[in-house]
Structure 1
Amino acid sequence: MSATARKSAPLPDDIRARKGGTPIVSLTAYTTPMAELMDGICDFVLVGDSVGMVLHGLQSTLGVTMEMMILHGQAVRRGLKASMLVMDMPFGSYEESPQQACRNAARIMAETAAGAVKLEGGVAMADTIAFLVARGIPVMAHIGLTPQSINTLGGYRVQGRGAEAEALLADARAVTQAGAFAVVLEKVPETLANRITSEVTIPTIGIGASSGCDGQILVVDDMLGLFTAFKPKFVKRYAHLGEAARAAIQDYANEVHDRRFPGPEHVFADKAPVKTGPAKTTPEQTA
């Protein structure tokens, strides 16, 4: 069934079943209007903690709070009918213990009606993933470049080159064994991404990885050209809406300066015109 023909959102098990099949399509969204545009086209829509940088002007994702995630998750939920909603767990909401992760994941899912949560980490987070899954919380894993760990990873650099490859393979195996239904591979060398995809039994979702992954995800504001503070190599611009929007704003400003806007069609008369019908005639007038 095509995405546009789908009438109900897929479940995590439906995503898992796509392993090795038709590639999985996904994007981020942070608002209702954007979610409505991608509903039914994307298999799942992620409310990413990238919202902190894209919409709130933060320098990293580390300042994103539970409240911010839930607010944007509720907005996206209102725009989705045929795509699954996945929610990022923000920094500090799950690392302390499996119990902390469970409390916060349960809150996120209850308040956004999400189908799953996503958290960063491989071997180190395997016990937490297993704890959540055993309690009915579907988990999408995220390994490779994990933006919440940039202070320990040395910035936004490619992960898994050279000797790091075996560690990343171990991460992929660990999240698979823990019960994650899919795993995001971010900024991973193509050959390694292909190897992970062939070895694990759950779908891999690439972002800066390989076309051989089981699916792909991008930040929607990146691919539409709305967020232009920087452009990672793995982003393809499918539109340049930011440039178009700035040009439109400049046109508006020019018309305001020239008093061409608002025009007659955009303003209201002091008094609505009185509607008149055909003049009435008397019998004498028709004689």
Structure 2
Amino acid sequence: MRDLAGGFGYLLAGQRWVFRHGRWLGFGLLPGLVSLVLYTGALIGLGYGADDLTAWATPFADGWSAPWLGLFRGFLTGLVFCLGLFLAVITFTAVTLLIGQPFYESLSEQVDRTEGGAVPESGLSLGRELWISARDSLKVLGRVALYGILLFALGFIPVVGQTVVPAIGFCVSGYFLTEELTAVALQRRRTELAERLVLLRSRRMLVLGFGVPLVLAFLVPLVAVFLMPGAVAGATLMARELLGEDDTADEAAAGPDAEGADGARPQQFEPQPQQSQPPAGGGFGPPPRM
């Protein structure tokens, strides 16, 4: 539970950071607006065509009597749209980060700079960074698609498919959404996708506490756009904890005397002032006893 709260705390901390640095909030909005236009058009098209798609995919049900045909295909149409929405939530971040790679990398560097410690740079060209980001995003998308197909199939199970499966879907979405966001900071540290996944698995509850509320918020398109800069900032803060950089920065700031040889913090002794007899008949306070 502490890690869940901690993940949500990083999400809030990222939003606070961008609102304290208003220039970076405006800086990070443009890629999200471009992605919003693209995804809105795609989802509108899916909404109009999902019923035709399910009718094409289920020709065996053409001869079914009412109301079973309508209920069956209506249920499938809903599942198709939910699957499309599920994929849109996951890929929205990847596409937005790809479009806004220079914007979000600069934002992440600024977060590192304001929080103290090193400000890592990948040293790669922009083209190389875009290629690595696109390649890793496709790998993540492949994993998400496998989970999506599995959850889509489980959605046919009565009751479970309408309760447990959507909850699992949000957790899967939140996990991989967090991976995409932390990748901005971790790629600058030359951390490969496999290593990033190991880091995230080591703190699953922290990751879900960050990602699941963000997925729920991203279901509202305009909210997704305005939360993206803060989400990148919060993911950078969380990446620093995952790598232990905050602890290192704290120890460095404390100086070499902060810890002893055995790792324990040494005791600090303050010299005690010497007691002196006040002069007789003078100074402040009561006169000395005779």
Q: Same fold (TM over 0.5)?
A: no
Query: Of Structure 1 and Structure 2, which has the larger fraction of its residues in helix?
Result: 2
TM class, shorter-length:
under 0.3
* TM-score normalised by the chain length of structure 2: 0.22
Larger Rg: 2
**Structure with greater proportional strand content:** 1
